[in-house]
Amino acid sequence: MGGMTHPALLAISHGTADPAGQAAVAALVDAVAARLPEVTVRLGHVDVQQPDVAASLAALPPGAPIVLVPLLLSAGYHVHVDLAEATAAHPNVVIAPALGPDERLADALAARLAALDDAPTEAAVVLAVAGSSDRRANDDCRTVADMLSERLGRSVAVGFLAAAEPRLDAAVAAAAAGGASVVVADYLLAPGYFHNLAVRMAAGAPVARPLLDHDDPAAALVDLVVDRYRTAAASTGAPATL
C-alpha cells in the first residue's frame, strides 16, 4: 500500500432527539465499521445531535483524506447546501452521494412491508416520505416508489409528511377510495418525529417500520453505505483494496 492510508469514513445522519432513532442509526454505523476494519469510521449529524459536521471533521487528523457519506435518503438541501458549506474549507473531504435512490432501499422497504402482520396482500401501498422543499429530493423519493412498485408488482403512491403535496393523509384517503385496504411503507431511516407523524396521518392504516429500527440493520443497508464509501474513496486515488 506504500504507506497510503484509507480515507476515514464520516457518516453524517440528519440527527434526531428520539433515543430509539439515535440507537438505530448508531447500530448501522457500527455494522459498517465492522465491515471496514481498516477504516476509521465516525458518526456525526447535520442537526439536533452532537457532534455536528464541523466538530466531526475537527476530531479527525488534519489533512487526512475523508469520505463523508450522508445517511440521508435523498439529496436535498442538507447535501447540496449544508454539507457543501460545512466541508468547503476541507479540500481533503469528498462527499459521497446520498443513500437514495437505490434498489437496495426498495428491497428493504419490501421486506418491512412483508413483515406487517395485519396487512392484506392486495392492499394499496402508499410510501410515506418526509418531504423536502427541494424538488430534486422529492423526485428521488418518487423514483424509489417506482422501484418498490416494480418489486411488488403493484402501484405505489407517494404521500409526504411535510413540505410537499400530496400529504400522507390525503394519499391514504385517495388510495382507500372505493373501499380498498391500504398499507403504508415507511421511507424513513429511523424511528423519530416523522415516523410518529406517519402513524398519526395514516389514520389507522398499518404502517411498516422504518428502514432502521431496534433489530439488526438490514445487510442491504450496510452494503449500501459501504458501497457509497468505496466508490467515493476510489475517486480520491486512495487504495481501493477494501
pLDDT for res 238: 62
Task: Evaluate whether residue 47 is within a structural domain.
Answer: yes
Helix axes 193-201, 168-176, angle to 10 degrees: 30
pLDDT > 60? residue 145: yes
> Which three-class secondary structure state does DSSP give residue 194?
helix
Eight-class DSSP state of 52: B
* Same-domain check for residues 176 and 86: no
pLDDT for res 76: 76
The enclosing domain of 185 has a CATH number of: 3.40.50
Task: Evaluate whether residue 242 is within a structural domain.
Answer: no
> Which three-class secondary structure state does DSSP give residue 9?
strand
* Same-domain check for residues 153 and 231: no
Answer yes or no: are the C-beta atoms of 23 and 41 closer than 8 Å. Answer: no
pLDDT > 60? residue 240: no
Q: Using one digit for the tens of pLDDT, what is the confidence trace for 198-216?
A: 999 999 999 999 999 999 9
Which backbone phi and psi does 93 adopt, to 5 degrees? -105, 130
The domain tally of the chain equals 2
Task: Evaluate whether residue 1 is within a structural domain.
Answer: no
* Same-domain check for residues 115 and 95: no
Task: Evaluate whether residue 89 is within a structural domain.
Answer: yes
Eight-class DSSP state of 36: -
In angstroms, how far is CA 121 from the centroid of its own chain? 26
Question: Which domain covers residue 50, as residue numbers?
Answer: 8-100+216-235
* Same-domain check for residues 112 and 82: no
**Cell numbers 429511523: residue:** 190
Q: Using one digit for the tens of pLDDT, what is the confidence trace for 11-40?
A: 999 989 999 999 999 999 999 999 999 999
**Cell numbers 449529524: residue:** 45
Q: Using one digit for the tens of pLDDT, what is the confidence trace for 153-186?
A: 999 999 999 999 999 999 999 999 988 999 999 9
* Same-domain check for residues 138 and 150: yes
* Same-domain check for residues 127 and 50: no
End-to-end Cα separation, the chain, in angstroms: 11
* Same-domain check for residues 64 and 122: no
Task: Evaluate whether residue 125 is within a structural domain.
Answer: yes
* Same-domain check for residues 124 and 149: yes
Task: Evaluate whether residue 153 is within a structural domain.
Answer: yes
* Same-domain check for residues 17 and 81: yes
* Same-domain check for residues 178 and 120: yes
pLDDT for res 239: 55
Q: Using one digit for the tens of pLDDT, what is the confidence trace for 65-110?
A: 999 999 999 987 767 688 889 899 899 999 999 999 999 999 999 9
Residue 3: pLDDT band (50, 70, 90) is: very low
* Same-domain check for residues 121 and 157: yes
Report residue 84 as a C-alpha cell: 457543501
* Same-domain check for residues 30 and 113: no
